[in-house]
Structure 1
Amino acid sequence: MKPSKTQRQSRILKIVREQSIETQSGLVEALSATGMTFTQATVSRDIKELGIVKVATGDGKSKYVAMKHSGEVAAGRLMNVFSEA
C-alpha cells in the first residue's frame, strides 16, 4: 500500500531533522532507504509545502532544515539569500 501524503511528509521531516541532507536527490535516497520510493518532483513539492529551507553550514556546505514557525521560515530564507550573495 502506498503511504499517504501525510505519512510521506512526516517521514521527510523526520529525516531532515535527524540527518544532514544536502540535496533533494539525497532526500529521495534517504526516503528510499526507509522503504518509501518517490520522485524528486514529489519531494520538491513537499519541501515547499513543509517550509523546509536550505541553509549554509559552517563548513561551506548547505543542508535542508525544517523550520518550526513561519517566522523561522522567513529567517531561513533570508539566511539562504545572504549566504549566496
Structure 2
Amino acid sequence: MVYVSERTIQIVAKYLESDSTKTEKLAYTAMGGDWTSYDDYLVICTGTEQLRHSRTINFFNLSKGDAPKLSAITLEEWAIVFRAIFTKSS
C-alpha cells in the first residue's frame, strides 16, 4: 500500500512466464480492483508472457468498466513514475 497526501494506492505486482493458468490469475487480479477499499488499484506487470503484445496490460485496462479503480502499467513505466514521485519529495 502507498499512502500519499490525497489518496491511497494498493499496488499488485504480476509476473508470469508461462501461459498455463494466466487467464484465471488475471481474472482474480482484475476482480481485486473492484473489491479494494483503497482509492486506486495499480497492477504492475512484468515477465515475458505478461508483456507479449501488451495483452495483459490491455486486459486490465479494459476491465475498468467492472473495476474503475484498476490501472495497469509495465514495470518500466512504474520505475519512471516511482522516480518522479520520490524525486519531488526529496
Larger strand share, 1 or 2: 2
| TM-score > 0.5, shorter chain as reference | no
Scaled by the length of structure 2, the TM-score of the pair is 0.31
Q: Per chain length, whose mean CA-contact separation is higher, i.e. which structure has more relative contact order (CA < 8 Å, sep 6+)?
A: 2
Larger helix share, 1 or 2: 1
